[in-house]
A and B are shown apart, each in its own frame.
Chain A
Amino acid sequence: MRLLLVEDNARLAAAISDMLVLDGHAVDHAGDLATARDFVDTADYDLILLDIMLPDGDGRVFLQGLRKRALDVPVIVLTARSEVSDRVGVLDLGADDYLVKPFDFSELEARVRAVLRRRGGARSNVQRIGDIAFDRLAGTLEVADERIDLRNRELRLFEVFAANPNMIFSKTKLVDRLFSADEDVSENAIEVYVGRLRKHLTGSAVTITTVRGVGYRLSIL
Chain B
Amino acid sequence: MNKRGSILRRLMLQLVGAAAVLAAILFVLFQSFARQLAIEAQDNTLFASASAILESVSVQQGEVNVDIPYAALSMLGNVSDDRVFYRIGMGAVPLTGYDDLPGKPGADAVSWTDQYRGDDLRMVQVSRALSVAGTLRDVTVVVGQTQGGLAQKLAQISRMAIFIGAIYFVVASLFAYWTARSTVRPLNAVAEAVARRGPLDLRPVTKPVPSEMAPLMVALNAFISRLDRSLTRSEDFIVEAAHRVRTPLATVRAQAEVTLRRVDRQENRNALKQMIRAVDESSRAAGQLLDHAMVAFRTDHLDQQALDLGAIAAEVVERQTPVAALKDITFDVDITAGGGFNGDAILIQNAVTNLIDNAVKYSPQETTITVSVKGNSLKICDQGPGFPAADIDTLTDRFARGTNVGNTVGSGLGLTIAHEVALAHNGALTLSQNPKGTGACVTLSLPS
Q: Which residues of A pack against B, CB within 8 Å?
A: 9, 11-12, 15-16, 18-19, 22, 53, 80-85, 88, 97, 100-107, 110-111, 113-114, 151-153, 170, 172-173, 176, 180-182, 184
Assuming the contacts A81-B242, A110-B322, asked whether A11 and B251 have C-beta atoms less than 8 A apart, the reply is yes
The reply to whether B261 and A80 form a contact with Cβ atoms under 8 Å apart is no
**B250 contacts A by Cβ under 8 Å:** yes
**B321 contacts A by Cβ under 8 Å:** yes
Contact with B254, one of A16, A82, A184 (Cβ below 8 angstroms): A16
Contact with A103, one of B250, B258, B350 (Cβ below 8 angstroms): B250
In the complex, which residue of chain B has the Cβ closest to the Cβ of A181?
A: B276
The reply to whether B290 and A82 form a contact with Cβ atoms under 8 Å apart is yes
How many angstroms from the CA of A22 to the CA of B257 in the assembled complex? Answer: 11
The reply to whether A102 and B283 form a contact with Cβ atoms under 8 Å apart is yes
The reply to whether B253 and A84 form a contact with Cβ atoms under 8 Å apart is no
The reply to whether A101 and B246 form a contact with Cβ atoms under 8 Å apart is yes
How many angstroms from the CA of A103 to the CA of B322 in the assembled complex? Answer: 14
Which of A84, A101, A103, A111 counts the most chain B CB atoms within 10 A? A84
* Contact residues in B for A111 (Cβ distance below 8 Å): 322
Count of chain B residues with Cβ under 8 Å from any Cβ of A? 50
The reply to whether B346 and A11 form a contact with Cβ atoms under 8 Å apart is no
The reply to whether A83 and B326 form a contact with Cβ atoms under 8 Å apart is no
Assuming the contacts A81-B243, A84-B291, A114-B322, asked whether A12 and B328 have C-beta atoms less than 8 A apart, the reply is no
The reply to whether A114 and B246 form a contact with Cβ atoms under 8 Å apart is no
The reply to whether A181 and B254 form a contact with Cβ atoms under 8 Å apart is no
User: How many Å from the CB of A180 to the closest CB on chain B?
Assistant: 7
**B264 contacts A by Cβ under 8 Å:** yes
The reply to whether B243 and A9 form a contact with Cβ atoms under 8 Å apart is no
* Contact residues in B for A153 (Cβ distance below 8 Å): 326-328, 365
Contact with A12, one of B250, B260, B366 (Cβ below 8 angstroms): B250
The reply to whether A102 and B250 form a contact with Cβ atoms under 8 Å apart is yes
The reply to whether B247 and A82 form a contact with Cβ atoms under 8 Å apart is no
Assuming the contacts A9-B247, A101-B249, asked whether A82 and B238 have C-beta atoms less than 8 A apart, the reply is yes
User: How many Å from the CB of A186 to the closest CB on chain B?
Assistant: 11
* Contact residues in B for A172 (Cβ distance below 8 Å): 264, 269
Q: Which residues of B pack against A, CB within 8 Å?
A: 235, 238-239, 242-243, 246-247, 249-258, 260-261, 264, 269, 272-273, 276-277, 279-280, 283, 287, 290-291, 294-295, 298, 319, 321-323, 325-328, 346, 349-350, 365-366, 407-409
* Contact residues in A for B327 (Cβ distance below 8 Å): 152-153
How many angstroms from the CA of A151 to the CA of B366 in the assembled complex? Answer: 9
* Contact residues in B for A152 (Cβ distance below 8 Å): 325-328
Which of B239, B269, B298 counts the most chain A CB atoms within 10 A? B239
* Contact residues in A for B325 (Cβ distance below 8 Å): 110, 114, 152
How many angstroms from the CA of A173 to the CA of B262 in the assembled complex? Answer: 9
How many angstroms from the CA of A105 to the CA of B261 in the assembled complex? Answer: 12
* Contact residues in B for A84 (Cβ distance below 8 Å): 290-291, 294-295, 298, 346, 350
How many angstroms from the CA of A150 to the CA of B445 in the assembled complex? Answer: 37
The reply to whether A113 and B243 form a contact with Cβ atoms under 8 Å apart is no
How many angstroms from the CA of A189 to the CA of B64 in the assembled complex? Answer: 160
* Contact residues in B for A16 (Cβ distance below 8 Å): 254
Which of A111, A113, A173, A181 counts the most chain B CB atoms within 10 A? A181
The reply to whether B261 and A102 form a contact with Cβ atoms under 8 Å apart is no
**Interface CB pairs A-B, < 8 A, 14:** A12-B250, A15-B257, A80-B250, A81-B239, A84-B350, A88-B349, A101-B283, A102-B252, A113-B322, A114-B322, A151-B366, A152-B326, A153-B326, A173-B261
User: How many Å from the CB of B305 to the closest CB on chain A?
Assistant: 13
How many angstroms from the CA of A97 to the CA of B322 in the assembled complex? Answer: 11
In the complex, which residue of chain B has the Cβ closest to the Cβ of A110?
A: B322
* Contact residues in A for B322 (Cβ distance below 8 Å): 107, 110-111, 113-114
In the complex, which residue of chain B has the Cβ closest to the Cβ of A102?
A: B250
How many angstroms from the CA of A213 to the CA of B289 in the assembled complex? Answer: 47
* Contact residues in A for B254 (Cβ distance below 8 Å): 12, 15-16, 18-19, 102, 105
Contact with B258, one of A18, A85, A100 (Cβ below 8 angstroms): A18
Q: A80-B243, A84-B298, A105-B254 given; name 17 further pairs at CB < 8 Å.
A: A12-B254, A15-B254, A80-B246, A80-B250, A83-B287, A83-B350, A100-B246, A101-B247, A102-B254, A104-B280, A114-B322, A114-B325, A172-B264, A181-B256, A181-B260, A181-B272, A182-B280
In the complex, which residue of chain A has the Cβ closest to the Cβ of B287?
A: A83
> Top 6 closest A-B pairs, CB basis?
A15-B254, A102-B250, A101-B250, A110-B322, A80-B246, A181-B276
The reply to whether A80 and B323 form a contact with Cβ atoms under 8 Å apart is no
In the complex, which residue of chain B has the Cβ closest to the Cβ of A103?
A: B250
Assuming the contacts A85-B346, A101-B247, A110-B326, asked whether A176 and B261 have C-beta atoms less than 8 A apart, the reply is yes
Assuming the contacts A19-B258, A80-B242, asked whether A85 and B407 have C-beta atoms less than 8 A apart, the reply is no
